[in-house]
Amino acid sequence: MNVYIKGMEMPTNCCQCPVNMEICKRGYKYLLEHPELYDKRADDCPLAPVPKHGDLIDGVALRAEVKKHATPSDAWVFSLIRTAPIIIPADKEAGE
């Protein structure tokens, strides 16, 4: 399961990471044994930055709503929705 924590900035190192005990389970003992992580994030850090983006929408719901009102000449709208950039991928369980 993926998670986005509203307002959280990407930590610059493991020592100050607010989730290091819960997400990657490194904990204090691990950090004491790896002092280089006081100044950087681990190479296998499970956190990933969310790129700058506009509002994230549900493309499936948008297509369904447009379909209710579209005419045959509106096919280009579906192409725009289908090819819109994906900022945060859909859940594999949600599917499309």
Question: Both 37 and 2 in a single domain?
Answer: yes
Residues 36 and 10 in one domain: yes
For residue 44, what are the domain limits?
1-50
- Based on the fold, state whether residues 46 and 1 are members of the same structural domain: yes
My answer on whether 35 and 18 are in the same domain is yes
Asked if 7 and 17 sit in the same domain, the reply is yes
Amino acid at 21: M
Inter-residue contact 50 to 4 (CB < 8 Å) = yes
- Domain match, 5 and 45 both: yes
User: Which residues does 52 contact at the CB level (< 8 Å), separation at least 6?
Assistant: none
What's the start-to-end Cα distance of the chain, in Å? 17
What pLDDT is stored for residue 93 in this prediction?
57
- The answer on 46 and 14 residing in a single domain is yes
Output the CA–CA distances (angstroms, integers) from residue 33 to 23, 37, 45, in the order listed. Answer: 19, 9, 17
Q: Are residues 35 and 7 located together in one domain of the fold?
A: yes
Distance, in Å, from the CA atom of 91 to the CA atom of 12, rounded to the nearest integer, reads: 27
* Same domain, residue pair 67 and 80: yes
Does 46 share its domain with 56?
no
Q: What is the pLDDT of residue 6?
A: 82
Which pLDDT score, from 0 to 100, does residue 25 have? 72
Q: What is the pLDDT of residue 96?
A: 46
Q: Is 14 exposed, middle or buried (0-12, 13-18, 19+ CB in 10 A)?
A: buried
Mean pLDDT, each 10-residue run in order, the chain (96 residues): 81 84 75 88 86 86 91 90 84 56
Are 78 and 63 in contact, with CB atoms under 8 Å apart? Answer: yes
**Number of independent structural domains in the chain:** 2
